[in-house]
Amino acid sequence: MNALKSILVAIILAISTSFYAQTADEVIDNYFENTGGKENWEKLEGLEMIGVMKMQGMEIPFEQLSTKDGKQVVTIEIQGNRMVWSAFNGETSWERNQMTMEAEKSNNEATENKKKQVKDFPDPLLNYKEKGYTVELIGKETVDGTETFKIKLTKDPILINGESKPNISHYYFDTENFVPIIVETEINEGPMKGQVVKSSISDYQEVNGVYFPFTISNQFQTMGFKEIKLNPEIDAAIFEFPEKIVETKKE
């Protein structure tokens, strides 16, 4: 009798798991359908996002460029000076030291984590199964008066101090429009380790048939996009580490 009960419980759990997985897929499918269609998303080879970041009382103009093969670069403007702040060419990751403003290559661990992010373009949820990711519908939850579907996304683990750590985000989809309005991620290292970053996503606008949020804000900063370009022309040199020019004195 106990064996029969165990079998029945196993069957119920299997059916329940299957149901939630299908429901999560339906939410994600509706999301891409409502924001331009999966085919249009899959045609994206590059994205250029131009806007202003507000943080600690400052407004910093920026441009963020990302490509399908994983290359990334962020250019900012501070006190009238425009500079590449960070970049990744697919193999080498680097960013500027905030004190010296000199370009410094990232350590091997940070670079390997960057390489794992290649699959996230243009959206981690797009064809997530092919990327080896998993999703789970947690259920419905009301956020700031809006009913949402809460979906857990588990991506490839990341390395933190040589140890493999889970890489999990929670997405809250508006049940009416099936678009994310909140994304939660946990900080895995540094002085804010363990703190959850809650990013609010809003102001969806159409760009050549695909809809993107033009405002993303969390407890640390707000990014407002003025323009988003799809498949822009790219000079590959912008991703490369800026080698220092050694000056020699003339005798």
In SS3 terms, the chain reads as CHHHHHHHHHHHHHHHHHHHHHHHHHHHHHHHHHCCCHHHHHCCCEEEEEEEEEECCEEEEEEEEEECCCCEEEEEEECCEEEEEEEECCCCEEEECCCCCCEEECCHHHHHHHHHHHHHCCCCCCCCCCCCCEEEEEEEEEECCEEEEEEEEEEEEEEECCEEEEEEEEEEEECCCCCEEEEEEECCCCCCCCCEEEEEEEEEEEECCEEEEEEEECCCCEEEEEEEEECCCCCHHHHCCCCCCCCCCCC
Rounded Cα gap, residues 117 and 54, in angstroms = 25
Residue 48 bridge partners (DSSP)? 65, 229
So what's the pLDDT on residue 195?
Answer: 82
Predicted model pTM = 0.85
Residue 104 · residue 96 · CB < 8 Å: yes
Rounded Cα gap, residues 180 and 32, in angstroms = 11
So what's the pLDDT on residue 47?
Answer: 98
Q: What residue has token string 């989809």? A: 173
Residue 249 · residue 96 · CB < 8 Å: no
So what's the pLDDT on residue 6?
Answer: 47
Rounded Cα gap, residues 204 and 174, in angstroms = 12
Which residues in the chain come in under a pLDDT of 50? 1-22, 245-251
Rounded Cα gap, residues 123 and 40, in angstroms = 12
So what's the pLDDT on residue 19?
Answer: 41
So what's the pLDDT on residue 190?
Answer: 66
> How is residue 155 written in tokens?
């991506």
So what's the pLDDT on residue 250?
Answer: 42
So what's the pLDDT on residue 32?
Answer: 98
Q: What residue has token string 């670069």? A: 73
So what's the pLDDT on residue 123?
Answer: 97
So what's the pLDDT on residue 79?
Answer: 85
User: pLDDT (tens digit, 9 = 90+) per residue, 199-210?
Assistant: 999 999 999 999
So what's the pLDDT on residue 186?
Answer: 86
